């Protein structure tokens, strides 16, 4: 049979094949068929079918050495490129400090305030922050919502907000992956500017589950109703719920979501030049930019206090990205100092009508 695969020329042509199964021509070069270069060289040198001279042995060792060095260099370069690409996904470690990092002094100006006065002062504290591009939000979420909260750079996955599943960071924006979920929906007044890319309001979500939520406001549906689905989507967490209007996230993150929505109402809820003038209500309205349900969000803030993960996320948004904080993560008690705590009535559960109530 004719040998094809590896070509020996020059010094390496002094190979004698002793096995009669191979057909060697008088040419100073021949071809030997094997799967890889290393296998071809080893086969030529080590199999009992081949005899070699000292010059052939030296040549083959040289080929093996050069092949090994090239492999090492290739692996090294590949690792370097991966590290560079990975580094671009995460914030650089900066020695700069920001006012939001000193939590006690950050809120010093709001001491003793409540109601509208507290809301207005908190607005002045948190509204002036670094704005991000919508593209940069992808990389920020890979860091902020990493599966391993203690080593987010080393984590290969992120946690989706409505399914609570871990999914590969590499599936960002893919049809089978995850996308950027605005907890306060864009249709409720997030037109452009900082509110559209505010990281306190954006979380990773499964593409299909995010589509099921759409722009539904947050609330608990009537479990006895045939229109109340649980889970809200086959890929969502088991304790999610939804009907035609409401969306109930997993129990574990209901407080997180409530505090994010409350933050948006304070950060972008005043009549400032170019502001969105967002509001909370038990009668949500896209036209009036009123999100809800307020009474449900107030309840979730109380029954699900800030977790360690939520606090770490707040710290990192401050340190690495926007340089502001969500005050309701640091001080959940501010919520009831601004909004009156009113238990939801039968009407507010099923026929929303209550407007935003403030002390």
Which carries the bigger pLDDT value, residue 209 or residue 276? 209
Task: Tell me what pLDDT residue 277 has.
Answer: 87
Q: How many residues does the chain have?
A: 359
DSSP H helical segments within 53-180, as ranges?
A: 54-87, 103-106, 115-126, 136-144
pLDDT at 196 over 60: yes
Quick one: pLDDT band at residue 193, thresholds 50, 70, 90?
confident
Q: What is the mean pLDDT of residues 175-181?
A: 97
pLDDT cut 90: percent of the chain above it:
63
What is the per-residue pLDDT across 313-332, written as a single tens digit (0 to 9) for each?
A: 999 999 999 999 999 999 99
Interacting residues of 181 by C-beta distance below 8 A, sequence separation 6+: 161, 162, 202, 203, 204, 205, 210, 213
pLDDT at 312 over 60: yes
What is the per-residue pLDDT across 11-56, written as a single tens digit (0 to 9) for each?
A: 444 443 434 444 444 444 444 444 455 555 455 545 444 444 455 4
Task: Tell me what pLDDT residue 151 has.
Answer: 96
Q: Where are the domains of the chain?
A: 6-85, 88-350
Residue 269 φ/ψ region, left for φ over 0, alpha for ψ in the -120 to 50 degree band, beta for the rest: alpha
Whether residue 51 contacts residue 18, with contact meaning beta carbons closer than 8 Å, is answered with yes
Task: Tell me what pLDDT residue 64 has.
Answer: 64
pLDDT cut 70: percent of the chain above it:
67
Task: Tell me what pLDDT residue 333 has.
Answer: 97
Of residues 123, 99, 121, 126, the one with CA closest to residue 110: 121
How far is the first Cα of the chain from the last one, in angstroms, to the nearest whole number?
94
Task: Tell me what pLDDT residue 50 has.
Answer: 45
What is the per-residue pLDDT across 121-143, written as a single tens digit (0 to 9) for each?
A: 999 999 999 999 999 999 999 99
Q: What is the mean pLDDT of residues 136-151?
A: 97
Task: Tell me what pLDDT residue 80 has.
Answer: 52
Task: Tell me what pLDDT residue 274 has.
Answer: 53
Whether residue 323 contacts residue 311, with contact meaning beta carbons closer than 8 Å, is answered with no
> Which phi and psi (to 5°) does residue 147 adopt?
-60, -45
Residue 346 φ/ψ region, left for φ over 0, alpha for ψ in the -120 to 50 degree band, beta for the rest: alpha
Quick one: pLDDT band at residue 345, thresholds 50, 70, 90?
very low
Task: Tell me what pLDDT residue 79 has.
Answer: 53
Quick one: pLDDT band at residue 270, thresholds 50, 70, 90?
confident
Q: What is the mean pLDDT of residues 103-126?
A: 96
- Find residue 62's DSSP bridge partners: none
90-104, 129-143, 237-251: which range is least confident on average? 90-104
Q: What is the mean pLDDT of residues 195-203?
A: 97
Interacting residues of 163 by C-beta distance below 8 A, sequence separation 6+: 205, 206, 209, 235, 236, 237
- How would DSSP label each residue in 178-230? EEEEESS-GGGT--STHHHH-GGGEEEEEHHHHHHHTTPEE----TTSTT-BS
Task: Tell me what pLDDT residue 341 has.
Answer: 58
What's the gap between Cα 300 and its chain centre?
Answer: 24
Instruction: Identify the helix (H) or strand (E) that includes residue 248.
Output: strand 246-248
pLDDT at 89 over 90: no
């Amino acid at each position: 049979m004719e040998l094809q695969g590896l070509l020996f020329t020059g010094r390496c042509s002094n190979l004698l094949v002793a096995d009669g199964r191979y057909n060697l021509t008088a040419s100073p070069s021949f071809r030997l068929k094997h799967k890889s270069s290393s296998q071809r060289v080893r086969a030529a040198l080590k199999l009992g079918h081949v005899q070699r001279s000292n010059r052939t042995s030296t040549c083959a060792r040289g080929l093996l050495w050069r092949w090994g060095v090239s492999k090492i260099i290739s692996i090294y370069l590949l690792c370097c490129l991966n590290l560079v690409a990975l580094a671009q996904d995460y914030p650089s470690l900066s020695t700069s400090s920001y006012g939001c990092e000193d939590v006690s002094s950050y809120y010093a100006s709001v001491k003793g305030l409540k109601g509208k006065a507290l809301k207005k002062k908190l607005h002045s504290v948190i509204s002036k922050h670094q704005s991000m591009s919508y593209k940069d939000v992808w990389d920020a979420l890979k860091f902020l919502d990493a599966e391993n909260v203690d080593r987010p750079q080393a984590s290969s996955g992120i946690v989706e907000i409505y399914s609570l599943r871990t999914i590969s960071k590499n599936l960002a924006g893919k049809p089978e992956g995850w996308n950027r979920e605005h907890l306060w929906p864009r249709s409720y007044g997030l037109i452009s500017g900082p509110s559209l890319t505010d990281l306190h309001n954006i979380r990773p979500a499964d593409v299909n589950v995010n589509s099921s939520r759409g722009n539904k406001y947050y609330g608990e549906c009537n479990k006895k109703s045939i229109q109340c689905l649980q889970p809200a989507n086959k890929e969502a967490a088991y304790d999610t719920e939804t009907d035609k209007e409401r969306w109930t996230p997993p129990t574990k993150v209901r407080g997180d979501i409530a505090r994010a929505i409350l933050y948006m109402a304070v950060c972008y809820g005043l009549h400032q030049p170019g502001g969105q003038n967002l509001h909370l209500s038990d009668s949500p309205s896209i036209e009036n930019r009123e999100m809800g349900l307020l009474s449900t969000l107030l309840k979730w803030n109380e029954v699900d206090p800030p977790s360690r993960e939520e606090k770490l996320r707040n710290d990192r948004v401050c340190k690495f990205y926007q340089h502001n904080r969500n005050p309701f993560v640091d001080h959940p008690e501010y919520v009831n100092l601004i909004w009156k705590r009113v238990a939801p009535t039968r009407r507010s559960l099923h026929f929303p009508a209550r407007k935003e109530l403030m002390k």
